[in-house]
Amino acid sequence: MRIARFSIDGNVAFGAIEGDKQDELVLDIIKGIPFADFELSGTKVPVGKVRLLPPVLPNKVVAFGRNYAEHARELGNEVPDAPFAFFKPSTSVIGPGDEIQYPSFSAEVHHEAELAVVIGRMCREVPRERVKDVIFGYTCANDITARDVQKREKQWARAKGFDTSCPLGPWVETDLDPGDLTIQLTVNGQQRQLGRTSEMIHSIEDLIVNISEAMTLLPGDVILTGTPAGVGPLTVGDEVAVTIEGIGTLTNKVVKRG
């Protein structure tokens, strides 16, 4: 099931997406929130009539770096022996169609296409065999990075956490095997990144076991699983699109921060 979060006439709701053709998609509005047992209302609205929002509003975004060997090497980094985590704040999250604002403190902003895992229930110290039980679903993400700032500052808080640096969407797919999916990214229609989730060094189970040893995960929290090789610069005016097999396409435009 594809679950979207959207606004219409000033109201925000969740809905289940029905249909296959982009111009024929409709939303069946959900009663309540999708992280517990829910019912479909039967009230349907065309996707073209609403504004799609970030599919969740995470309490925290936990991101894992250097989880694809070729990406680690393309930036001259060692492949880590254990999962390597950092955070992006909730204020970095934007949705499909929202603008990525080029930060004034950087001159080298890069794209990073990633599979995002959405947590479905409160959990801590999750055993490997129970990881699937705490996952709500999967969505597309773009870990926008101020690369020059990342290189010169030991902490990645500014480089990875600035406003609009975490596009998510367009919806959450709840019925998906994430083991071997194509991830690709285009800039202005030209392919920049192409990889498969099977190339991850540390699996989704590894990542969730690792971070849940340290902290409680809450419904709606997001885990970013790393990016394949091919990261590169974005400029003002670019349109960047992340497409993940079985999920869909997340598209955003880069603008100058006003």
Q: What is the pLDDT of residues 94-140, one digit of tens each?
A: 999 999 999 999 999 999 999 999 999 999 999 999 999 999 999 99
Nearest 5 degrees, angle CA 94-CA 48-CA 60?
Answer: 20
pLDDT band at 22 (very low <50, low <70, confident <90, very high): confident
**In terms of domains, do 142 and 234 share one?**
yes
Residue with tokens 């504004």: 51
Read off the pLDDT of each residue in 36-48 and give the average, rounded to a whole number: 93
pLDDT for residue 94:
98
**In terms of domains, do 157 and 180 share one?**
yes
Q: What is the CATH number of the domain that holds 246?
A: 3.90.850.10
**In terms of domains, do 81 and 45 share one?**
no
The b-or-e profile of 69-92 (16+ CB within 10 A means b, else e) is eebbeeeeeeeeeebbbbebbbeb
User: Which tokens go with 191?
Assistant: 């392919």
Whole-number average pLDDT of the chain: 96
pLDDT for residue 188:
98
pLDDT for residue 225:
98
Cβ distance 199 to 161 under 8 Å? no
Residue 45 vs residue 74, higher pLDDT: 45
pLDDT higher than 90, residue 6: yes
**In terms of domains, do 41 and 78 share one?**
no
**In terms of domains, do 23 and 136 share one?**
no
Tell me how far apart the alpha carbons of residues 224 and 242 are, in angstroms, rounded to a whole number: 14
Q: Beta strands of the chain (E only): which ranges?
A: 2-8, 11-18, 26-31, 39-46, 51-52, 61-65, 84-88, 93-94, 99-102, 109-111, 113-119, 135-142, 145-146, 166-173, 182-187, 190-196, 222-224, 232-234, 239-244, 248-256
pLDDT for residue 2:
98
DSSP secondary structure code for residue 97 in this structure: T
Tell me how far apart the alpha carbons of residues 129 and 16 are, in angstroms, rounded to a whole number: 28
**In terms of domains, do 66 and 126 share one?**
yes
**In terms of domains, do 150 and 99 share one?**
yes
pLDDT for residue 77:
79
Read off the pLDDT of each residue in 203-231 and give the average, rounded to a whole number: 98
Q: What is the pLDDT of residues 72-106, one digit of tens each?
A: 788 787 888 899 999 999 999 999 999 999 999 99
pLDDT higher than 90, residue 183: yes
Tell me how far apart the alpha carbons of residues 54 and 201 are, in angstroms, rounded to a whole number: 28
What is the total residue count of the chain?
A: 258
pLDDT for residue 75:
79
**In terms of domains, do 48 and 98 share one?**
no
- Name the percent of the chain lying above pLDDT 70: 100
pLDDT for residue 70:
86
User: Which tokens go with 150?
Assistant: 């990342």
Q: Please give the single-letter amino acid code of residue 46.
A: P
**In terms of domains, do 18 and 82 share one?**
no
Q: What is the pLDDT of residues 224-244, one digit of tens each?
A: 999 999 999 999 999 999 999
**In terms of domains, do 31 and 115 share one?**
no
DSSP secondary structure code for residue 98 in this structure: P
Domain count, the chain: 2
Q: For residue 111, with 0-12 CB atoms within 10 Å meaning exposed, 13-18 middle and 19 or more buried, which class applies?
A: buried
Distance of alpha carbon 35 from its chain centroid, rounded?
A: 18
Tell me how far apart the alpha carbons of residues 8 and 179 are, in angstroms, rounded to a whole number: 35
pLDDT higher than 90, residue 23: no
| pTM: predicted TM-score of the whole model, two decimal places | 0.97
**In terms of domains, do 154 and 124 share one?**
yes
Domain span at residue 36 reads: 2-52
